[in-house]
Amino acid sequence: MKRSSRPSSKKSGPRQGNSIEEVLRELREGRFVILADGLNGEAQLCMAAELVTPDAINFMVTHARGLVCLALGPDRMRALGIPLMSSEAAAGQRPYGASFEAKQGVTTGISAADRAVTIQAAMAVDASPDSIVMPGHIVPVQAREGGVLVRAALTEAALDLSRLAGLRAGAAVCTILGDDGTLASREDLEAFAELFELAMVEVADVVAHRLRSECLVRRVAEAPITTAAGGRMRAVVYDSSVDGKQHIALIKGRIGAAEPVLTRIHSQCLTGDVLGSQRCDCGEQLAAALQRINKEGKGVLLYMHQEGRGIGLANKIRAYALQDQGFDTVQANLELGFADDGRDYGISAQMLRDLGVKRVHLLTNNPKKIDGLRRYGIEVAERQPLEIPAHQGNIRYLRTKREKLGHLFSGLDQGNA
């Protein structure tokens, strides 16, 4: 591989561990950066979409080897009339849209020049459904509204970097593969960055940068309440600027950043929390968490508006109907076109930060909550189990959570079969 093949090459030597400011400067000048996600081991070449050239497309295809995609926000996808190929959270995959290419200025659509024209057409200020045709040779992938503060992942980070650079929100991205065709290792990425003099940045760095200056939640109401299980607590209601949903924090005692705070993040479950459904353990977990916080004398419970692990009330009831036909809870979600668990913890982390909580003792059986909070800068000093005795109505549900979602349960194989 010749270094001269790098578009807009800069002869300043290899740079790694770059600051966000350096990365943004590179993007403004039409250069690639390497965007890495240390959690899942994937990294992408990333370039501001409006500055893409034929040489840039050829560089991605030749050296990164992955699929060339165009990361776009929901507004741009709607403006272009591009439909998603499946539900945004289907099977936990990225929400890809229908492939497309420019309506004018291309031949077969597959050449580097044609693909650059297609990306430029999609990024034009006046782009509309009349600007493109489907199918084509560029695959769009839709980022979540709110970016990395809602979902800390590569697509959102790529779009955030373009926006932070003062450019239109769109990024040409391509996963970097090693010589053997597998995802590039950290060693591979460092060699790649050195060879082609590329800046490199982690998704976590983009999250940290935005957390320093932005907030997607705001307090809208506050009052003391007395709860049956938690005693007297302070209720704080938050609005999310991402989707307009409201979430509530219940606070016991004096909390702050000095010591870890006993914390429960509880997803709304109307059927379990209010109606006492026997299909799950949610209502009992809610009561147990409040009792633990009350006994401790201080703590926080976040009650999040994300029914059914994020699929909503109607779809949860549809999932119940499928479970009655023999599907387990994970299979039912997938059958409906959703992920097994579509929740993210960015908004929860922002609520905790607003409350002055930076370290927690987390009441959970779900390791994904631990990883989720850590991605947003909340330290999980300790996990405290929140297990409820199983019964005939929820034993299969709990076993599925353990076996397919990785929840940490004990004693599910004894009795209650």
Does the predicted TM-score (pTM) go above 0.75? Answer: no
Given a cut of 70, the residues of the chain with pLDDT beneath it are: 1-17, 87-93, 340, 342, 411-417
Domain residues of the chain, as ranges? Answer: 3-211, 216-306+343-405
pLDDT by residue (tens digit) across 233-253?
A: 999 999 988 777 899 999 999
Please indicate whether residue 6 is annotated as part of the active site: no
Q: Which of 160, 281, 340, 341 is catalytic?
A: 341
Question: Which CATH superfamily does the domain covering 3-211 fall into?
Answer: DHBP synthase (3.90.870.10)
Q: Is-catalytic flag, 343? A: yes
What's the CA gap between 415 and 411, in Å, rounded?
Answer: 9
| Catalytic entry in 210, 292, 343, 399 | 343
Q: What are the pLDDT digits (tens) for 54-110?
A: 999 999 999 999 999 999 999 999 999 999 987 554 445 688 999 999 999 999 999
In CATH, which superfamily holds the domain spanning 216-306+343-405?
A: GTP cyclohydrolase II (3.40.50.10990)
Query: 3-211 and 216-306+343-405 share one CATH topology?
Result: no
